[in-house]
Chain A
Amino acid sequence: MSEPLLSVRNLTVTFPAGNGAPVVDGISFDVRPGEIVALVGESGSGKSVTAFALLDLVPEPGRTTGGEIVFEGRDVRGLPPADLRKVRGGGIGLVFQEPGSALDPVRTIGVELAGVLRRHRGLSRAEARRAAVEWLRRVSLPEPERRLDDYPHRMSGGMKQRATIALALAGGPRLLVADEPTTALDVTIQAQILALLRRLRDELGLAVLLITHDLGVVAEVADRALVMYAGEIVEEAEVAELFDAPAHPYTRGLLASRPDAGGAPGARLVAIAGSVPEPGSRGAGCLFAPRCPEAVPGCLAARPSLREVAPGHRAACILAAGPGGKP
């Protein structure tokens, strides 16, 4: 097994609202080179804040209050600003949900791309322009030579997201962090962008940390998934295992509650009761226990920690069967 590219340990992010309760509560995970890892969760689970924290971009007044973020052997936290800027874009690329939010409306896509290529790769003006065309071709933007001189408003949402991905990758990062990259797109365009991410991983050996709320997207592209609930990782597994043998009742509930295109009108779904707890109102025990159909009194005694239920498969549930099959 290769060394992890990114190794996050006990990451904690806190916002003053909600009595200063952590929004990301001591999570740990690894991303290996060339691996697509999905960080799955609902709004309020802390998945997007985790993505921001990796590059020290947590929006004010939030703060990363603890933990390590080791990327290629160095802790990103505490890097001098100049080194941090090199990691941003040069080591870790970022793509956000809203296509085009990363694009400057008054610059052409060619100028933007050339800027990144000159800054991170040290190319000359002419070389950068040639390389920019190559990047637009690599993300399958139609007519790349012509698009080079286009402004973002001339492009559709799907084209902007392709351009944003080119921009995120032009600095040569080994890890792409993509926060809901297809959520704002139509489903036929989503399928194209997901296929593009798979292809870029294969061609460039790129690792991807994909932040999403959509288990369909996870099934489509991810190798491994981390399921987040209320600021914690509650389950981690290879995707085939996660979908076939989910160990945490929350994961099971999410999978079972999905409507099915083969369903019939009026057929009832298996719903999860209640709603996600606010950061300030989280009790001592398992955070999912108040909604859990399988909860026993012991669930409220202490916060369960992640433990191995099968090789490479961890769950934070006292009821999940261990490797020997015993709970």
Chain B
Amino acid sequence: MSGPLLEVAGLRKDFVSAGRFGRGARSRVAAVSDVSFAVDAGETLALVGESGSGKTTAVRMVLRLIEPDGGTIRFDGVDWLSLPIGELNRQRRKVGVVFQDPATSLDPRMNVEQIVTEPLVIHRVGDRKERRRRAVALLSAVGIPESALERRPVEFSGGQRQRIAIARALSTAPKLLVLDEPISALDVSVRAQVLNLLADLSESSTPRPATLFVGHDLSVVAHVAHRTAVMYLGRIVEEGPTGELFRTPRHPYTALLLASQPRRSPSERRPPEGASVAGEPASAASIPPGCAFHPRCPVATARCREEVPPETGSLAAGGGPRRFACFQPLS
């Protein structure tokens, strides 16, 4: 098949606020505006941004948990948004999802076998014996012993529960894996285990699934994503190969995010105070005109306050396309 596995173009979602106490003026809130990205098979794209950036809304539209107000999504050769619900549900076996908090994403009344095999039951894959065999194989791949099959989520630690959630997500051998902050809710000492597991699984699966990773911690993203798209108040402001993007950010917001990361060690030089003291994001209910970042931007001009900067593409030295939406890009 030619072209990317997942191709999102011009995606848009407005939420309508009900006004005060359900009365008064209703207002439209642009949660996601004109978002486009593509993911190839075997590749990991990270969507990063702070709360209100629209990263979660964008991913939920890809999962069709919310319907977009505009834009197109092509997935595995089909027009994903025009699929009727019955066909969509059949095609959903091609997508696996791992959510942030395994304490709430796993059904507490199911045992581990039911949790891991439920997608197979829904998609009528195999008989009971085959499904059980598959569950044992999946659990072994994520480091959970067969003796866990009859036990319930509450009997496991957070890290083990997330392993079970990963086994479930992989049960239908999906072409696309969506990981929504998969280690943020875990204990610090088990995060590295789960990151290593995700890397192992990605390398051992054939064909390797495409992965859409939602995150906010840039050091985690550096370890998982080939490419990274940075979102700010509903738009992608910059995208490129992860290493390059972090070494030479072009958008001032990407630079601010990088400068705001805590130091790895007290002996590292602290960035100049000015780098971090730069206001707060506007609320999504009142996005500033022009470039939404301009009120916090150290290099904004009059034009930035009036026009939304278009995406500028460039071919980076290290290979791989880069783009950014800024009138005053950093060099």
Q: Which residues of A contact B (CB under 8 A)?
A: 42-44, 156-159, 186-192, 194-195, 213-217, 219-220, 222, 239-240, 243-244, 250, 253-254, 257-273, 275-276, 291
CB pair B224 A265 closer than 8 Å: yes
Q: Once the chains bind, are A271 and B262 in contact (CB under 8 Å)? A: no
B220 at the interface (CB under 8 A from A): yes
Which among B157, B196, B220, B263 is the interface contact of A271 at CB below 8 angstroms? B196
Given contacts A187-B257, A195-B276, A219-B263, contact A261 B187 (CB under 8 A): no
- Which chain A positions have C-beta within 8 A of B265? 219, 243-244
Indicate with 1 or 0, residue by residue over B172-215, a CB within 8 angstroms of chain A CB atoms.
Answer: 00000000000000011111110110010011000000000000
The docked-state distance in angstroms from the alpha carbon of A156 to that of B283 is: 8
- Closest-by-CB residue of B relative to A186 is B50
A273 (CB) vs chain B CBs: closest residue: B193
Taking a contact as CB atoms closer than 8 A, the residue among A156, A195, A276 that contacts B189 in the complex is A276
Nearest 7 A/B pairs, CB to CB: A216-B262, A186-B50, A257-B192, A191-B276, A271-B192, A269-B192, A191-B260
Give complex CA distance A192, B258 in Å. Answer: 14
Query: B256 in the interface, Cβ–Cβ < 8 Å?
Result: yes
A264–B216 contact, CB under 8 A? Answer: no
Told that A188-B281, A275-B160, A275-B190 touch, could you supply 10 new A-B pairs with CB distance under 8 A?
A: A42-B189, A190-B262, A195-B276, A216-B262, A216-B263, A259-B191, A264-B243, A266-B203, A271-B193, A272-B193
A262 vs B247: C-alpha distance in the bound complex, in angstroms?
8
B261 with A270: CB separation less than 8 A? no
Contacts of B187 in A (CB 8 A): 42-44, 213, 275-276
Q: Quick check: B223 and A240 within 8 Å, CB to CB?
A: no
A-B contact pairs, 13 of them (CB 8 A): A43-B187, A158-B280, A188-B50, A191-B259, A191-B262, A194-B262, A215-B188, A239-B266, A243-B266, A253-B189, A259-B217, A270-B192, A275-B159
Query: Which listed residue, A157, A187, A189, touches B261 by the CB 8 Å rule?
Result: A187
Inter-chain contact B268/A263, CB cutoff 8 Å: no
Whether the Cβ atoms of A156 and B280 lie closer than 8 Å is yes
B50 engages A276 (CB within 8 Å): no
Q: How far is the CB of B307 from chain A (nearest CB, A)?
A: 24
Q: Which residues of A contact B283 (CB under 8 A)?
A: 156
State A259–B261 Cα separation when bound (angstroms).
12
> B185 to nearest A CB, angstroms?
10
Instruction: Provide the bound-state CA to CA distance between A275 and B270, in Å.
Output: 33
Beta-carbon contact of A159 and B157 below 8 Å: no
B273 at the interface (CB under 8 A from A): yes
In-complex Cβ contact of A258 among B158, B219, B225, B246 (8 A): B219
Q: CB within 8 A of B267: which of A188, A220, A244? A: A244
- Report how many residues on chain B are interfacial, defined by Cβ distance under 8 Å: 53
B contact residues around A189 at 8 Å (CB): 280
Contact between A186 and B203, CB atoms less than 8 A apart: no
Find chain A residues with CB under 8 A from B189 CB.
42, 250, 253-254, 257, 272, 275-276, 291
Q: Shortest CB–CB separation between residue B153 and chain A, in angstroms?
A: 14
Assembly CA distance A57 to B95 (angstroms): 47
* B281 partner residues in chain A, CB cutoff 8 A: 186, 188
Q: Given the known A-B contacts A192-B277, A259-B219, are A214 and B157 also in contact in the complex, defined by CB atoms under 8 Å?
A: no
Q: Are A265 and B264 in contact (CB under 8 A)?
A: no
B117 within 8 A of A: no
Nearest CB to that of A190 among chain B residues? Answer: B260
Instruction: Return chain B residues, CB-CB under 8 Å to A219.
Output: 262-266, 268
Residues of the A chain whose Cβ atoms lie less than 8 Å from the Cβ of B218: 261
Closest chain B CB from A18 CB (angstroms): 15
Expressed in whole angstroms, the Cα–Cα distance for A33 and B188 within the complex equals 30
Asked if A263 and B219 make an inter-chain contact with CB atoms under 8 angstroms apart, the answer reads yes
Rounded to whole angstroms, the CA-CA distance of A156 and B220 in the bound complex is 26
A276 and B157 contact, CB distance less than 8 A? yes
Given contacts A262-B222, A265-B223, A275-B160, contact A257 B261 (CB under 8 A): no
- Whether B44 is near chain A, meaning CB under 8 Å from some CB there, is yes
Please tell me if the beta carbons of A260 and B188 are within 8 angstroms of each other in the complex: no
Which residues of chain A have C-beta atoms less than 8 A from B258's C-beta? 261
Contact present for A192 and B263 (CB under 8 Å): no
Give the CA-CA distance A265 to B242 in the complex, in Å: 9
Cβ B222 vs Cβ A240 within 8 A: no
Closest chain B CB from A208 CB (angstroms): 16
Within the complex, the shortest CB–CB distance from A258 to chain B, in Å, comes to 7
Q: Hey, which chain B residues are within 8 Å of A263, CB to CB?
A: 219, 222-223
